[in-house]
Amino acid sequence: MIHPRLTEEHLAVQEAARSFARNELLPGVTERDEFAQFPTEQVRKMGELGFLGMMVSPEYGGGGMDTLSYVLAIEEIAKIDASAAVIMSVNNSLVCYGLEKYGTEEQKRQYLTPLASGQVLGSFCLSEPEAGSDATSQRTLAEDKGDHYLVNGTKNWITNGNSSSISLVIAQTHPELKHKGINCLIVEKGWEGFSVGKKEKKLGIRASDTHSLMFNDVRVPKENRIGDDGFGFKFAMNTLNGGRIGIAAQALGIAAGAYELALQYSKERKSFGKPISEHQAIQFKLADMATRITAARLLVHQAAACKDAGEDYVQAAAMAKLFASEVAMWATIEAVQIHGGYGYVQEYHVERLMRDAKITQIYEGTSEIQKIVIARELLR
Protein backbone atom coordinates (compact mmCIF):
# COMPACT_ATOMS: atom_id res chain seq x y z
CA MET A 1 0.00 0.00 0.00
CA ILE A 2 1.27 3.46 -0.89
CA HIS A 3 0.91 6.41 1.49
CA PRO A 4 1.93 9.50 -0.49
CA ARG A 5 3.48 12.55 1.08
CA LEU A 6 2.81 15.99 -0.33
CA THR A 7 5.82 17.88 -1.63
CA GLU A 8 6.21 21.63 -1.92
CA GLU A 9 5.20 21.31 -5.57
CA HIS A 10 2.02 19.47 -4.60
CA LEU A 11 1.16 22.13 -2.05
CA ALA A 12 1.76 24.88 -4.63
CA VAL A 13 -0.62 23.21 -7.09
CA GLN A 14 -3.21 22.79 -4.34
CA GLU A 15 -2.96 26.45 -3.36
CA ALA A 16 -3.19 27.61 -6.98
CA ALA A 17 -6.37 25.57 -7.47
CA ARG A 18 -7.83 26.80 -4.19
CA SER A 19 -7.14 30.40 -5.11
CA PHE A 20 -8.64 29.99 -8.57
CA ALA A 21 -11.75 28.34 -7.16
CA ARG A 22 -12.37 31.05 -4.60
CA ASN A 23 -11.52 34.02 -6.82
CA GLU A 24 -12.81 32.90 -10.21
CA LEU A 25 -15.39 30.15 -9.64
CA LEU A 26 -17.18 31.22 -6.45
CA PRO A 27 -18.49 34.51 -7.89
CA GLY A 28 -21.57 33.58 -9.90
CA VAL A 29 -21.56 29.86 -9.04
CA THR A 30 -25.13 29.99 -7.71
CA GLU A 31 -26.40 31.81 -10.78
CA ARG A 32 -24.64 29.41 -13.16
CA ASP A 33 -26.28 26.53 -11.34
CA GLU A 34 -29.71 28.12 -11.32
CA PHE A 35 -29.72 28.99 -15.01
CA ALA A 36 -27.61 26.02 -16.17
CA GLN A 37 -25.00 28.36 -17.69
CA PHE A 38 -21.79 26.82 -18.96
CA PRO A 39 -18.78 28.57 -17.31
CA THR A 40 -17.20 29.60 -20.60
CA GLU A 41 -14.92 32.33 -19.27
CA GLN A 42 -13.89 30.32 -16.23
CA VAL A 43 -13.02 27.26 -18.35
CA ARG A 44 -10.94 29.47 -20.64
CA LYS A 45 -8.95 30.64 -17.61
CA MET A 46 -8.59 27.06 -16.40
CA GLY A 47 -6.97 26.26 -19.73
CA GLU A 48 -4.62 29.21 -19.48
CA LEU A 49 -3.54 28.11 -16.00
CA GLY A 50 -2.87 24.56 -17.18
CA PHE A 51 -5.72 22.82 -15.38
CA LEU A 52 -7.07 21.10 -18.50
CA GLY A 53 -3.97 19.07 -19.37
CA MET A 54 -2.24 18.68 -16.05
CA MET A 55 -0.79 15.18 -16.54
CA VAL A 56 0.06 15.52 -20.25
CA SER A 57 3.73 15.77 -21.21
CA PRO A 58 4.94 19.34 -21.88
CA GLU A 59 5.90 18.03 -25.32
CA TYR A 60 2.19 18.09 -26.14
CA GLY A 61 1.25 21.28 -24.32
CA GLY A 62 0.53 19.78 -20.91
CA GLY A 63 1.80 20.40 -17.40
CA GLY A 64 3.69 17.13 -16.98
CA MET A 65 2.36 16.75 -13.44
CA ASP A 66 1.63 13.57 -11.53
CA THR A 67 -1.81 12.18 -10.72
CA LEU A 68 -1.56 13.29 -7.10
CA SER A 69 -1.21 16.93 -8.21
CA TYR A 70 -4.24 16.44 -10.40
CA VAL A 71 -6.50 15.08 -7.64
CA LEU A 72 -5.39 17.84 -5.28
CA ALA A 73 -6.50 20.40 -7.86
CA ILE A 74 -9.77 18.60 -8.60
CA GLU A 75 -10.67 18.52 -4.90
CA GLU A 76 -10.18 22.27 -4.51
CA ILE A 77 -12.17 23.05 -7.66
CA ALA A 78 -15.02 20.71 -6.64
CA LYS A 79 -15.29 22.28 -3.20
CA ILE A 80 -16.59 25.40 -4.90
CA ASP A 81 -17.97 24.30 -8.30
CA ALA A 82 -18.52 20.63 -9.08
CA SER A 83 -19.63 21.51 -12.62
CA ALA A 84 -16.23 23.03 -13.38
CA ALA A 85 -14.58 20.02 -11.74
CA VAL A 86 -16.30 17.50 -14.01
CA ILE A 87 -15.48 19.56 -17.12
CA MET A 88 -11.85 19.50 -15.99
CA SER A 89 -11.98 15.81 -15.05
CA VAL A 90 -13.32 14.59 -18.39
CA ASN A 91 -10.77 16.58 -20.37
CA ASN A 92 -7.87 15.36 -18.21
CA SER A 93 -8.73 11.82 -17.13
CA LEU A 94 -10.60 10.50 -20.14
CA VAL A 95 -9.76 12.47 -23.27
CA CYS A 96 -6.17 13.64 -22.77
CA TYR A 97 -5.10 10.51 -20.92
CA GLY A 98 -6.53 8.18 -23.55
CA LEU A 99 -4.96 10.07 -26.42
CA GLU A 100 -1.53 10.34 -24.84
CA LYS A 101 -1.34 6.71 -23.73
CA TYR A 102 -2.80 5.04 -26.83
CA GLY A 103 -2.76 7.57 -29.67
CA THR A 104 -0.31 7.74 -32.55
CA GLU A 105 2.27 10.50 -32.72
CA GLU A 106 0.25 12.20 -35.45
CA GLN A 107 -2.94 11.99 -33.35
CA LYS A 108 -1.15 13.50 -30.39
CA ARG A 109 0.23 16.40 -32.43
CA GLN A 110 -3.10 17.12 -34.09
CA TYR A 111 -5.53 16.57 -31.22
CA LEU A 112 -3.80 16.18 -27.86
CA THR A 113 -1.82 19.41 -28.04
CA PRO A 114 -4.83 21.76 -28.36
CA LEU A 115 -6.73 19.74 -25.73
CA ALA A 116 -3.91 19.78 -23.18
CA SER A 117 -3.19 23.47 -23.65
CA GLY A 118 -6.86 24.36 -23.14
CA GLN A 119 -7.43 25.69 -26.64
CA VAL A 120 -10.33 23.26 -27.06
CA LEU A 121 -12.33 20.82 -24.93
CA GLY A 122 -12.91 17.14 -25.49
CA SER A 123 -15.68 14.65 -24.76
CA PHE A 124 -15.70 10.91 -24.12
CA CYS A 125 -18.61 9.18 -25.85
CA LEU A 126 -19.36 5.74 -24.46
CA SER A 127 -22.86 5.72 -22.93
CA GLU A 128 -25.90 5.06 -25.10
CA PRO A 129 -29.66 4.81 -24.49
CA GLU A 130 -29.23 1.05 -23.92
CA ALA A 131 -25.53 0.86 -23.10
CA GLY A 132 -24.56 2.64 -19.90
CA SER A 133 -22.90 0.33 -17.43
CA ASP A 134 -23.06 -2.46 -20.03
CA ALA A 135 -20.44 -0.97 -22.32
CA THR A 136 -20.28 -4.15 -24.43
CA SER A 137 -23.73 -3.48 -25.90
CA GLN A 138 -22.74 -0.70 -28.28
CA ARG A 139 -25.43 0.16 -30.84
CA THR A 140 -23.43 2.94 -32.48
CA LEU A 141 -21.93 1.38 -35.60
CA ALA A 142 -18.66 2.25 -37.33
CA GLU A 143 -18.88 0.47 -40.67
CA ASP A 144 -15.49 -0.25 -42.25
CA LYS A 145 -15.38 1.32 -45.72
CA GLY A 146 -11.73 0.67 -46.50
CA ASP A 147 -10.02 4.01 -45.96
CA HIS A 148 -12.67 5.36 -43.59
CA TYR A 149 -15.47 4.41 -41.22
CA LEU A 150 -19.12 5.40 -41.61
CA VAL A 151 -20.53 6.10 -38.16
CA ASN A 152 -24.22 5.92 -37.23
CA GLY A 153 -25.78 6.04 -33.79
CA THR A 154 -26.52 8.07 -30.68
CA LYS A 155 -24.52 8.76 -27.53
CA ASN A 156 -26.24 9.86 -24.32
CA TRP A 157 -25.27 11.89 -21.24
CA ILE A 158 -22.10 13.28 -22.77
CA THR A 159 -20.27 15.78 -20.57
CA ASN A 160 -18.88 18.71 -22.61
CA GLY A 161 -21.28 17.51 -25.32
CA ASN A 162 -21.86 20.88 -26.93
CA SER A 163 -18.69 22.66 -25.82
CA SER A 164 -16.24 20.03 -27.04
CA SER A 165 -14.47 20.27 -30.37
CA ILE A 166 -13.03 16.74 -30.29
CA SER A 167 -14.95 13.60 -29.31
CA LEU A 168 -13.63 10.12 -28.61
CA VAL A 169 -16.44 7.90 -29.88
CA ILE A 170 -16.76 4.22 -28.94
CA ALA A 171 -18.52 2.27 -31.70
CA GLN A 172 -19.07 -1.31 -32.85
CA THR A 173 -17.40 -2.34 -36.12
CA HIS A 174 -17.66 -6.13 -35.96
CA PRO A 175 -20.88 -7.10 -34.09
CA GLU A 176 -20.11 -10.80 -34.47
CA LEU A 177 -16.98 -10.30 -32.33
CA LYS A 178 -18.96 -8.54 -29.58
CA HIS A 179 -16.64 -6.53 -27.30
CA LYS A 180 -13.61 -7.52 -29.37
CA GLY A 181 -15.10 -5.78 -32.38
CA ILE A 182 -15.38 -2.31 -30.82
CA ASN A 183 -13.26 0.67 -31.92
CA CYS A 184 -12.55 4.16 -30.60
CA LEU A 185 -12.63 6.93 -33.20
CA ILE A 186 -11.61 10.58 -32.98
CA VAL A 187 -14.44 12.70 -34.37
CA GLU A 188 -14.32 16.45 -34.92
CA LYS A 189 -17.26 18.73 -34.24
CA GLY A 190 -18.60 20.19 -37.48
CA TRP A 191 -18.10 17.09 -39.60
CA GLU A 192 -21.05 16.38 -41.84
CA GLY A 193 -23.67 14.22 -40.16
CA PHE A 194 -22.46 14.97 -36.61
CA SER A 195 -25.09 16.85 -34.59
CA VAL A 196 -25.65 17.84 -30.97
CA GLY A 197 -28.98 17.03 -29.31
CA LYS A 198 -30.86 18.80 -26.57
CA LYS A 199 -29.22 19.85 -23.35
CA GLU A 200 -30.27 17.67 -20.43
CA LYS A 201 -32.10 19.30 -17.51
CA LYS A 202 -30.30 17.86 -14.51
CA LEU A 203 -30.62 17.58 -10.74
CA GLY A 204 -27.01 18.66 -10.18
CA ILE A 205 -23.79 19.76 -11.92
CA ARG A 206 -26.18 21.96 -13.87
CA ALA A 207 -23.52 24.33 -15.25
CA SER A 208 -21.77 21.52 -17.12
CA ASP A 209 -23.30 20.86 -20.53
CA THR A 210 -24.67 17.35 -20.90
CA HIS A 211 -26.06 16.45 -24.33
CA SER A 212 -26.91 13.59 -26.62
CA LEU A 213 -24.69 13.38 -29.70
CA MET A 214 -26.02 11.99 -32.99
CA PHE A 215 -24.05 10.48 -35.85
CA ASN A 216 -25.68 10.11 -39.25
CA ASP A 217 -23.30 8.69 -41.85
CA VAL A 218 -20.35 10.54 -40.35
CA ARG A 219 -17.23 9.80 -42.38
CA VAL A 220 -14.23 9.22 -40.09
CA PRO A 221 -10.77 8.65 -41.64
CA LYS A 222 -9.09 5.36 -40.73
CA GLU A 223 -6.14 7.27 -39.30
CA ASN A 224 -8.51 8.58 -36.60
CA ARG A 225 -8.93 5.15 -35.06
CA ILE A 226 -7.08 4.77 -31.76
CA GLY A 227 -5.13 1.52 -31.56
CA ASP A 228 -5.56 -1.64 -33.59
CA ASP A 229 -8.87 -2.78 -35.03
CA GLY A 230 -11.00 -4.04 -32.12
CA PHE A 231 -9.05 -2.22 -29.39
CA GLY A 232 -11.93 0.13 -28.52
CA PHE A 233 -13.40 -1.78 -25.60
CA LYS A 234 -10.02 -2.20 -23.88
CA PHE A 235 -9.33 1.47 -24.56
CA ALA A 236 -12.60 2.47 -22.89
CA MET A 237 -12.14 0.22 -19.85
CA ASN A 238 -8.50 1.20 -19.30
CA THR A 239 -9.34 4.88 -19.63
CA LEU A 240 -12.30 4.62 -17.25
CA ASN A 241 -10.03 3.15 -14.58
CA GLY A 242 -8.10 6.41 -14.49
CA GLY A 243 -11.32 8.39 -14.83
CA ARG A 244 -12.58 6.88 -11.58
CA ILE A 245 -9.73 8.57 -9.73
CA GLY A 246 -10.81 11.94 -11.08
CA ILE A 247 -14.45 11.37 -10.11
CA ALA A 248 -13.37 10.16 -6.67
CA ALA A 249 -11.46 13.43 -6.25
CA GLN A 250 -14.53 15.36 -7.37
CA ALA A 251 -16.68 13.54 -4.80
CA LEU A 252 -14.06 14.21 -2.15
CA GLY A 253 -14.10 17.91 -2.99
CA ILE A 254 -17.89 18.10 -2.77
CA ALA A 255 -17.83 16.40 0.63
CA ALA A 256 -14.98 18.57 1.92
CA GLY A 257 -16.63 21.73 0.64
CA ALA A 258 -19.88 20.88 2.44
CA TYR A 259 -18.00 20.05 5.64
CA GLU A 260 -16.08 23.34 5.60
CA LEU A 261 -19.30 25.29 5.15
CA ALA A 262 -21.02 23.35 7.94
CA LEU A 263 -18.08 23.80 10.30
CA GLN A 264 -18.00 27.55 9.75
CA TYR A 265 -21.78 27.88 10.07
CA SER A 266 -21.80 25.89 13.32
CA LYS A 267 -19.46 28.45 14.87
CA GLU A 268 -21.65 31.39 13.80
CA ARG A 269 -25.18 30.12 14.37
CA LYS A 270 -26.42 30.38 17.95
CA SER A 271 -29.05 28.25 19.62
CA PHE A 272 -30.09 28.23 23.27
CA GLY A 273 -27.63 31.00 23.98
CA LYS A 274 -24.47 29.50 22.47
CA PRO A 275 -22.98 28.56 19.08
CA ILE A 276 -24.46 25.29 17.85
CA SER A 277 -20.89 23.94 17.56
CA GLU A 278 -20.96 23.70 21.36
CA HIS A 279 -23.89 21.28 21.27
CA GLN A 280 -22.72 17.69 21.40
CA ALA A 281 -25.20 16.60 18.70
CA ILE A 282 -23.51 18.94 16.21
CA GLN A 283 -20.03 18.00 17.41
CA PHE A 284 -20.77 14.34 16.70
CA LYS A 285 -21.86 15.17 13.15
CA LEU A 286 -18.74 17.24 12.52
CA ALA A 287 -16.50 14.54 13.95
CA ASP A 288 -18.09 11.88 11.74
CA MET A 289 -17.84 14.11 8.67
CA ALA A 290 -14.16 14.92 9.25
CA THR A 291 -13.30 11.26 9.85
CA ARG A 292 -15.02 9.90 6.76
CA ILE A 293 -13.68 12.68 4.55
CA THR A 294 -10.15 12.00 5.79
CA ALA A 295 -10.58 8.31 5.02
CA ALA A 296 -11.88 9.14 1.54
CA ARG A 297 -8.93 11.46 0.94
CA LEU A 298 -6.47 8.72 1.88
CA LEU A 299 -8.13 6.32 -0.58
CA VAL A 300 -8.07 8.91 -3.37
CA HIS A 301 -4.43 9.80 -2.75
CA GLN A 302 -3.47 6.14 -2.56
CA ALA A 303 -5.13 5.43 -5.93
CA ALA A 304 -3.33 8.40 -7.48
CA ALA A 305 0.00 7.29 -6.02
CA CYS A 306 -0.47 3.73 -7.30
CA LYS A 307 -1.09 5.08 -10.79
CA ASP A 308 1.97 7.33 -10.59
CA ALA A 309 4.12 4.40 -9.40
CA GLY A 310 3.07 2.31 -12.39
CA GLU A 311 1.28 -0.20 -10.17
CA ASP A 312 -2.04 -1.88 -10.88
CA TYR A 313 -4.52 0.72 -9.65
CA VAL A 314 -7.84 -0.79 -10.81
CA GLN A 315 -8.93 -1.90 -7.34
CA ALA A 316 -7.61 1.25 -5.64
CA ALA A 317 -9.45 3.50 -8.09
CA ALA A 318 -12.73 1.62 -7.71
CA MET A 319 -12.46 1.67 -3.90
CA ALA A 320 -11.72 5.41 -3.91
CA LYS A 321 -14.61 6.14 -6.25
CA LEU A 322 -17.04 3.94 -4.32
CA PHE A 323 -16.20 5.30 -0.88
CA ALA A 324 -15.69 8.96 -1.80
CA SER A 325 -18.99 9.15 -3.68
CA GLU A 326 -20.89 7.61 -0.77
CA VAL A 327 -19.19 10.01 1.64
CA ALA A 328 -20.09 12.94 -0.63
CA MET A 329 -23.77 12.05 -0.60
CA TRP A 330 -23.84 11.43 3.14
CA ALA A 331 -21.75 14.46 4.12
CA THR A 332 -23.75 16.91 2.03
CA ILE A 333 -27.00 15.69 3.61
CA GLU A 334 -25.43 16.17 7.04
CA ALA A 335 -24.27 19.66 6.04
CA VAL A 336 -27.80 20.62 5.05
CA GLN A 337 -29.06 19.26 8.38
CA ILE A 338 -26.51 21.29 10.35
CA HIS A 339 -27.60 24.41 8.49
CA GLY A 340 -31.25 23.67 9.30
CA GLY A 341 -33.68 25.76 7.27
CA TYR A 342 -30.83 27.81 5.82
CA GLY A 343 -29.39 24.65 4.32
CA TYR A 344 -32.45 24.35 2.12
CA VAL A 345 -31.93 27.65 0.33
CA GLN A 346 -29.47 28.62 -2.41
CA GLU A 347 -27.62 31.31 -0.52
CA TYR A 348 -25.76 28.87 1.72
CA HIS A 349 -24.50 26.60 -1.09
CA VAL A 350 -24.93 23.26 0.68
CA GLU A 351 -28.18 22.38 -1.09
CA ARG A 352 -26.33 22.70 -4.42
CA LEU A 353 -23.50 20.53 -3.18
CA MET A 354 -26.03 17.92 -2.08
CA ARG A 355 -27.55 17.86 -5.56
CA ASP A 356 -24.09 17.74 -7.15
CA ALA A 357 -23.02 14.83 -4.95
CA LYS A 358 -25.55 12.33 -6.32
CA ILE A 359 -24.02 12.10 -9.79
CA THR A 360 -20.69 10.95 -8.35
CA GLN A 361 -22.43 7.70 -7.37
CA ILE A 362 -23.61 7.22 -10.96
CA TYR A 363 -21.09 8.24 -13.58
CA GLU A 364 -17.89 6.31 -14.32
CA GLY A 365 -19.94 3.32 -13.14
CA THR A 366 -22.53 3.12 -10.36
CA SER A 367 -21.63 2.10 -6.82
CA GLU A 368 -22.77 -1.42 -7.67
CA ILE A 369 -20.40 -1.53 -10.65
CA GLN A 370 -17.51 -0.43 -8.42
CA LYS A 371 -18.27 -3.29 -6.03
CA ILE A 372 -18.21 -5.72 -8.95
CA VAL A 373 -14.83 -4.35 -10.03
CA ILE A 374 -13.44 -4.55 -6.51
CA ALA A 375 -14.72 -8.09 -5.97
CA ARG A 376 -13.32 -9.22 -9.31
CA GLU A 377 -9.90 -7.88 -8.35
CA LEU A 378 -10.07 -9.52 -4.92
CA LEU A 379 -10.97 -12.89 -6.40
CA ARG A 380 -8.43 -12.92 -9.23
How many independent structural domains does the chain possess?
3
Give the separation between CA 296 and CA 326, rounded to whole angstroms. 9
Global confidence as pTM? 0.96
All residues at 6 or more sequence positions from 264 whose CB lies less than 8 Å from its CB, including other chains: none
Closest CA to 216 of 151, 310, 133, 263: 151
DSSP letter, residue 272: T
**Strand pairing category for 166-172 and 122-125:** parallel
Summarised one tens digit per residue, pLDDT across range 260-284 is: 999 999 999 999 999 999 999 999 9
CATH of the domain at 333: 1.20.140.10
Q: How confident is the model at residue 133 (pLDDT cuts 50, 70, 90)?
A: low
- What's the pLDDT at 131? 76
The per-residue DSSP string of 138-170 comes to ---EEEE-SSEEEEEEEEEEEETTTT-SEEEEE
Domain boundary among 121, 147, 174: 121
Summarised one tens digit per residue, pLDDT across range 32-78 is: 999 999 999 999 999 999 999 999 999 999 999 999 999 999 999 99
- What's the pLDDT at 259? 98
For residue 280, count CB atoms less than 10 angstroms from its CB and return exposed for 0-12, middle for 13-18, buried for 19 or more.
Answer: exposed
H or E stretch including 372? Answer: helix 367-379
Which residues are known to be catalytic?
364
Beta-bridge mates of residue 122: 166
- What's the pLDDT at 3? 61
Q: Are residues 117 and 127 in the same domain?
A: no
Q: Are residues 291 and 198 in the same domain?
A: no
- What's the pLDDT at 136? 81
DSSP 3-state of 37: coil
- CB 151 within 8 Å of CB 140: yes
Mean pLDDT of 194-221: 97
Mean pLDDT of 347-373: 95
Q: Are residues 190 and 246 in the same domain?
A: no
- CB 84 within 8 Å of CB 77: yes
Q: How confident is the model at residue 197 (pLDDT cuts 50, 70, 90)?
A: very high
- CB 87 within 8 Å of CB 120: no
Q: What is the residue-averaged pLDDT of the chain?
A: 96
- With a cut of 60, say whether residue 2 has pLDDT above it: no
Mean pLDDT of 24-38: 98
Q: Does some domain include residue 2?
A: no
Using CA atoms, how far residue 222 sits from 159, 359, 368, in Å, is 25, 35, 36
Give the separation between CA 102 and CA 239, rounded to whole angstroms. 10
Give the separation between CA 99 and CA 114, rounded to whole angstroms. 12
- What's the pLDDT at 129? 86
- CB 79 within 8 Å of CB 256: yes
Q: How confident is the model at residue 132 (pLDDT cuts 50, 70, 90)?
A: confident
Mean pLDDT of 240-250: 97
Q: Are residues 171 and 263 in the same domain?
A: no
Domain boundary among 232, 263, 290: 232
Half-sphere exposure for 209 (CA within 13 Å, toward CB) = 20
Q: Are residues 200 and 308 in the same domain?
A: no
Q: Are residues 308 and 344 in the same domain?
A: yes
CB count within 10 Å of CB 22 equals 13
All residues at 6 or more sequence positions from 267 whose CB lies less than 8 Å from its CB, including other chains: 275, 277
**Domain containing 264: what range?**
240-379
Q: Are residues 145 and 27 in the same domain?
A: no
